[in-house]
Structure 1
C-alpha cells in the first residue's frame, strides 16, 4: 500500500501524523542536517523517510507545500514541512533524497 499523498489538506495530515506519533517539529538546517530547536542534529544516515504528502494552496495553486514524516535512529518521529516546486528548499530536497527511503516498505 502506498502511504503517500493520502490527505486532502495539510491540517488533516498533520493531525493524523501527530496521532500516529510524529510529534517532533524538525527542519533541515543550512548544514544539511535534520534539527529540532537548533540543539539536536541528525545527519542523513540517522534518519528514515516514512511518508510524504503534497498539497496545493486552496486560493493559489502555486502555493504548494510538502510534509515529510521522518524517524531518527534515536526513535524520535516527527515532520518536516517545506515549500514544494520552484519555491522548495534545495537543501531539504537534497536531504530527503539522501536518507533511507522507508515509505514503500
Structure 2
C-alpha cells in the first residue's frame, strides 16, 4: 500500500515502512547542497524526486521535531533523508528539498 504524507506515528515506524517499500539508501544533504551517500554517490536537486514526507514531534519535548523524506534519484535509487524540523532544521536541507520535483501527490509513480 502506498503511504501518505504524515501517516506514521513514529520516525522508526516510518523508516521501517519506507524500507519495505524499497527506500533503502540513507542519504543526507551535504554542506555543498548535494544529496550524498558516502563519498561515491552525489545528486543535485534536479536528479531527485520527493515521493513522501513524514513529520514527528518528540513525546517528551515538542521542540524535538524531525522529518523524513522518501526520495528517488534519476538513476532509480530510492532512499530517505532525515532532518530536524522547525527551528532546528537544516537550512541547506530545506533549500535542497524545495528544489526537487514534488511527486508526493502523483498517483502514477
Matches of 2:91 and 2:15 in 1, distance apart?
A: 23
Deviations 1:63-92 (A, max 9, x none): 000000000000000000000000000000
Partner of 2:45: 44
Task: State the alpha-carbon separation in 1 of the partners of residues 68 and 58 from structure 2.
Answer: 13
Question: Which 4+ stretches in 1 moved above 4 angstroms?
Answer: none
Q: When the two structures are aligned, how many residues end up with a matched partner?
A: 105
Residue matched to 1:71:
72
TM-score (norm: length of structure 1): 0.97
Q: CA RMSD in A?
A: 1.2
Partner of 2:96: 95
Counterpart in 2 of 1:58? 59
Gaps of 5+ in 2: none
Q: Compute the TM-score of the two structures, normalised by the length of structure 2.
A: 0.93
